[in-house]
């Protein structure tokens, strides 16, 4: 991982934000950055971010909680300040990393987890494989697993082989202000202060400008996809109470389930103990768009 990633960023604190603390853990030989908020004696809450995101983006949600929590949020491998792989990213590694993180943070007690998007997919599969390790699970739009026909496999593998020959990169911006402007363009619900904070933590200086704080290998296609029947079998093995929260204006949800609106209900139906909530005027990044409403929903469920 480039040495300049995350250097000189400070806290990026704006207004009355609850300060966070950073630490680095060795999880199975991989250097992981973990962000912590709150009193270490308070109830533990694990927050898991999505693709091309970082732990710091949960700041607005943490600030909106009414009850005291000891919040622990990792940067997944290859994102933020965590170590990059030297080659491809396999989804099963996220489950192994989560298992080691919970062993470190909550070795004797089932964990309470809130997980967004890709993090929600990882947490839901983990909760089926290790049901005794998860006490409660809130999934923020994390079941949009893409399906593929067997006929797509040769082309997908050929694309993966081609990508392995040359590591590309994410788009560069001249500075964090330009990066923040891009974030606002992608999500008009962000105000200037939120966009500035996110740009500080979501970007890295690569010497030629700023770009996403993520390994470009995350853009590679995966030659082996998770099969839907396997995912649903894992979800049926989950014993913890599960909450699924979605935004009414989420392009992620519309894209994932537009072809078959009943598919989401079939997936949610796999969970034995399920609650659902919708948030109006909210896109895919619920923790950015409506952190106060999300915090109320989560705390009602988590308590």
Contact 158, 142 (CB under 8 A): no
The predicted model gives 121-144 an average pLDDT of 97
Q: What is the mean pLDDT of residues 53-70?
A: 97
CATH number of the domain that 135 lies in? 3.40.50.1820
Q: Which two tokens stand for residue 140?
A: 């923020």
Give pTM, 2 decimals. 0.93
Task: Examine residue 171 and state whether it is found in any structural domain, yes or no.
Answer: no
Residue 283 is assigned to a structural domain of this protein: yes
**Residue 73 falls inside a structural domain:** yes
pLDDT, one tens digit per residue, over 12-23 is: 445 689 999 999
pLDDT number for residue 207: 85
Please check whether residue 42 lies inside any domain of the structure: yes
- Domain membership of residue 274 as a residue range: 20-147+227-302
Question: Would you say residue 205 lies in a domain?
Answer: no
255-289 tens-digit pLDDT: 888 788 799 999 999 999 999 999 999 999 999 99
Q: What is the pLDDT of residue 270?
A: 98
The answer to whether residue 297 sits within a structural domain is yes
For residue 168, name the pLDDT band (cuts at 50, 70, 90).
Answer: confident
Q: Each residue of 84-129: pLDDT tens digit?
A: 998 899 999 999 999 999 999 999 999 999 999 999 999 999 999 9
d(CA 192, CA 206) in angstroms, rounded, equals: 24
Whether the Cβ atoms of residue 141 and residue 48 lie closer than 8 Å to each other? no
- Is 239 domain-assigned? yes
Confirm if 139 and 112 have CB atoms less than 8 A apart: no
Q: What is the mean pLDDT of residues 215-227?
A: 90
Question: How far is residue 57's CA from residue 140's CA, in Å, rounded to a whole number?
Answer: 14
Cβ atoms within 10 Å, residue 75: 24
pLDDT band of 224, cuts 50, 70, 90: confident
Percent of the chain with pLDDT over 90: 80
Tally the domains of the chain.
Answer: 1
Q: Is residue 186 part of a domain?
A: no
Amino acid 52: pLDDT: 95
Structure tokens at 108: 């004797």
């Amino acid at each position: 991982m480039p040495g300049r990633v995350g250097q000189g960023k400070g806290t990026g604190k704006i207004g009355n934000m609850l300060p966070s603390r950073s630490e680095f853990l060795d999880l199975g030989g991989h250097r992981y950055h973990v962000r912590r908020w709150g009193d270490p004696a308070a109830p533990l809450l694990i927050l898991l971010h999505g693709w091309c995101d970082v732990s710091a983006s949960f700041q607005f949600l943490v600030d909106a909680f009414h009850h005291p929590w000891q919040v622990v949020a990792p940067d997944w491998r290859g994102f933020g300040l965590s170590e990059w792989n030297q080659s491809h990213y396999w989804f099963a590694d996220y489950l192994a990393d989560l298992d080691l993180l919970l062993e470190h943070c909550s070795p004797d007690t089932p964990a309470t987890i809130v997980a967004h998007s890709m993090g929600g997919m990882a947490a839901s599969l983990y909760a089926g494989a290790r049901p005794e390790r998860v006490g409660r699970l809130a999934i923020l739009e994390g079941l949009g697993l893409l399906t593929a026909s067997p006929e797509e496999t040769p082309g997908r593998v050929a694309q993966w082989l081609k990508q392995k020959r040359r590591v590309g990169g994410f788009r560069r911006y001249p500075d964090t202000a330009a990066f923040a402007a891009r974030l606002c363009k992608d999500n008009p619900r962000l105000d200037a202060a939120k966009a500035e904070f996110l740009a500080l933590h979501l970007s890295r200086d690569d010497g030629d400008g700023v770009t996403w704080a993520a390994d470009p290998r995350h853009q590679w296609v995966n030659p082996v996809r998770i099969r839907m029947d396997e995912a649903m079998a894992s979800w049926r093995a989950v014993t913890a109470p599960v909450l699924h929260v979605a935004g009414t204006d989420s392009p992620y949800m519309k894209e994932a389930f537009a072809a078959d609106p009943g598919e989401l209900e079939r997936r949610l139906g796999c969970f034995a103990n399920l609650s659902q909530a919708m948030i109006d005027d909210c896109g895919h990044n619920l923790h950015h768009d409506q952190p106060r409403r999300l915090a109320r929903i989560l705390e009602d469920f988590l308590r």
